[in-house]
Amino acid sequence: MFKFITYTISLAVILAATTTTDAQTRLGIFAGGGFDWYYGDMNDRVISHPDLIKNYWTAGLLYRPGDRIHFGLSYAKGNLTSADSLAVQDFQKRRNLHFQTEIEQASFHINYRPLRNARRAIPYFIAGISYFRFDPVAEYGGQEIRLQPLGTEGQYIDGSDNPEPYKLYRLSAPLGIGVEVPLSCSFALRIEAINHLTFFDFLDDLSTDYADSTALLATQNGPLAFELASNLPDGYPATGFKRGNEENNDTYFFFGATLLYTPCWKGSSTGRGPGPDGPARLGRKKRKNTCPAYQ
């Protein structure tokens, strides 16, 4: 399913780049990247630690049906990581867990521009929905171990009240702000800050309580799950001891820039082709070219 979505977006980008119709100037393609980081049970800082800031890249399409509302379809890929050793609170430092995950997402978003006819910097708001894949891992014995199949919080203990195994494909809600700076008739620089609300708490494989150690050891991957569930200096804690806070869902944050290319119709006063009057409009007094980047 996820591969189908990403292939669809890639095909749409290729078609947009080769289209030559009058409606072409309503459709733009963009690519770029920036920095990403995660907030959750394993990151208690208001401003993320520099070692936890990683990179992402993105590409997609932008469609402009009007001046204020724009629609976007994009694909993004990045990495998220965190470690209790970089925490501020003593509880997290003692817990001493860590994780990292690659993250891929396909997104549909709406941009709303509150100002019309801004010429230099155009602010806008961002909201949408993303379908993303993640797969947290931790280092153990010099190897990266996938955490979800282990059930570190007792997900695979039969007949227990522990949480169900979490899925690695989820929905999130991207919310953010951006500013578009026109560079020319065809190009614009877009700078965006987007927070992704995941509505769940296992992005870092950490959420609720420590499972019963005996029952955890009896699961299929029990010995490895036992080792990676706890790293407390005084040993594995009693059953029910808090491992995370399930009341606070995890989020991840993108801050970056993209270069937007929107084909410019030469000789048009609107930047969207000759319009309904066709060639007759081209015979009128020549006006200064404009384009969607300035609409």
| CATH number of the domain bearing residue 102 | 2.40.160.20
Beta strands in 91-231 (DSSP E): 98-112, 122-133, 137-140, 143-146, 169-182, 187-197
**Is position 287 within any domain?**
no
pLDDT at position 205, please? 97
Instruction: Please indicate whether residue 73 or residue 89 has the higher confidence score (pLDDT).
Output: 73
Mean pLDDT, residues 24-46: 90
* Structural domain that includes position 99: 2-260
| pLDDT tier at 284, thresholds 50, 70, 90 | very low
**Is position 290 within any domain?**
no
Mean pLDDT, residues 179-204: 95
pLDDT at position 136, please? 98
Q: pTM surpassing 0.85?
A: no
pLDDT at position 240, please? 86
**Is position 237 within any domain?**
yes
**Is position 270 within any domain?**
no
Q: Is the pLDDT of residue 181 over 80?
A: yes
Mean pLDDT, residues 112-116: 85
Output the CA–CA distances (angstroms, integers) from residue 145 to 122, 138, 149, 152, 228, in the order listed: 45, 5, 9, 12, 9
**Is position 288 within any domain?**
no
Q: Is the pLDDT of residue 281 over 50?
A: no
**Is position 269 within any domain?**
no
Domain count, the chain: 1
pLDDT at position 115, please? 80
**Is position 295 within any domain?**
no
**Is position 54 within any domain?**
yes
